[in-house]
Amino acid sequence: MQVPIGLEEEFEELVDLVELKAYNFHGAIGERIVTADIPQLGGTGSEKRCELIEVVSELDDKLAEAFLNDEPISPDDLKMAILRATVACKFFPVCMGSAFKNKIY
């Protein structure tokens, strides 16, 4: 559901494949978050979004119909299909996370 751009010390941003947004983390410990819309993904992001849509469309009839008819799939359509598949225990979404300075609050 999300794709990192860069890894470890070279991490640059996080791309949300559902909402089509990029999140950049600025500051010494990434405390300032800058959000940007990305209406068109290129390269790896586009491939990953297509993979996500394909997987979810195998589990949700409404999304499958739109996918097979080559209709554009909006973030809201994808979110609702993910919700339906998750509630039916057919899909288990995974989102990225990180420990903030390795401390528990």
Q: What ranges do the domains of the chain cover?
A: 2-87
Dihedral sign for Cα 49, 37, 22, 31, please.
negative
The whole-angstrom separation of Cα 54 and Cα 76 is 16
If phi over 0 gives left and psi between -120 and 50 gives alpha, with beta otherwise, what is residue 6? left
Higher pLDDT, 87 or 12: 87
C-beta separation of 38 from 49 below 8 A: no
Q: What is the mean pLDDT of residues 66-77?
A: 93
Neighbouring residues of 64: CB distance < 8 A, sequence distance ≥ 6: 57, 58
Give 78-97 pLDDT, tens digit per residue: 999 999 999 999 999 988 87
pLDDT for position 97: 72
H or E element that contains 65: helix 61-68
Give 16-70 pLDDT, tens digit per residue: 999 888 888 887 777 788 898 876 666 666 788 899 999 999 999 999 999 999 9
